[in-house]
Amino acid sequence: MPERLPVFINPENVASRGLQTSGVLSLEKMDRLIDRLVAPFGKVRVSLAFAKEGQHMTMHGNVVGNMFVECQRCMQALEFKVDHEFELGLIKSEAEIECLLPGQEPLLISHEDIRLADIIEDELELLLPMSVMHEPEECSVARDYGVNEEVIITDDSSNEQPPKKNPFSALADLKK
């Protein structure tokens, strides 16, 4: 396998040939992902295998690497490790979605070449959770202020509390 990923591919062509390729992609060239990273440097190792059975085309991929994102609690850098496998069904129309195998995600293709880095960038974006935080024992804010991740909510009506005093009850006396 070559150590350099092609920049552009023709999905039908590479699936017909059964192309297998691997290489390294730089995170600093991923324009949409870079906004979510604290340190826009680093690389991910990518392995891809294309296949075609009849009219059904697939892309199997694996992405391994590290990204540095911002902890939403302490605002410090957090190393987010990536080791992700994915399976894409290459489809030409939305009607073909029903033909995908379980576990496959659709990738709508046209007759034009597609940029491989864009597909990998999409996969990395989907991996990142909406809110990324250190583990409580690793986060400076959680340690310093005793943030507890376990919040238990119960609906126990047996713990009835006395009625709260109305803060405006003193005004009732002025009305007389």
pLDDT along the chain (176 residues), means of 10: 79 92 91 85 92 90 93 88 94 89 90 91 90 83 57 54 73 72
DSSP classification of residue 136 = T
pTM: 0.73
- Beta pairing, strands 105-108 & 56-70: unpaired
Maximum Cα–Cα distance across the chain: 92
What is the C-alpha to C-alpha distance for residues 14 and 109, in angstroms, rounded to an integer? Answer: 13
Q: Where are the domains of the chain?
A: 8-145
How far is 47 from 68, CA to CA, in rounded Å? 21
Q: How far apart are CA 82 and CA 65, in angstroms?
A: 5
Tell me the backbone φ, ψ of residue 99, rounded to 5 degrees.
-85, -5
